[in-house]
């Protein structure tokens, strides 16, 4: 996961940077359900915008960015 945390997450629909991976959600079997994407800061605000990205929404993982499709 640490390699993924350094990549910018970009929404290909709007062309905007969403943020970076700040957390993951794992089910009881140890399978990743969602990547939690938001602002990566030392002190995260409780009301900061965060997105739950499923693997179906990930279109490409590149060297520098992760491209996702959010409507």
CB of 68 closer than 8 Å to CB of 59: yes
Q: Looking at the whole model, is its pTM more than 0.85?
A: no
Give me the chain's average pLDDT, please: 87
CATH level 3 topology of 2-68: SH3 type barrels. (2.30.30)
- pLDDT tens string 23-47: 999 999 999 899 999 875 655 555 5
Across 59-70, average pLDDT: 96
3-state percent breakdown (helix, strand, coil) of the chain, nearest 5: 10, 50, 40
Q: How many CA atoms lie within 13 A of 43 on its CB side?
A: 0
pLDDT of residue 48: 64
């Amino acid at each position: 996961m640490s390699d993924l945390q350094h990549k910018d997450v970009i929404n290909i629909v709007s062309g905007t940077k969403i943020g970076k991976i700040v957390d993951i959600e794992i089910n009881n079997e140890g399978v990743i359900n969602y990547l939690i994407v938001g602002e990566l800061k030392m002190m995260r605000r409780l009301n900061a915008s965060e997105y739950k990205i499923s693997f179906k929404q990930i279109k490409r993982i590149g060297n520098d960015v992760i491209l996702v499709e959010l409507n």
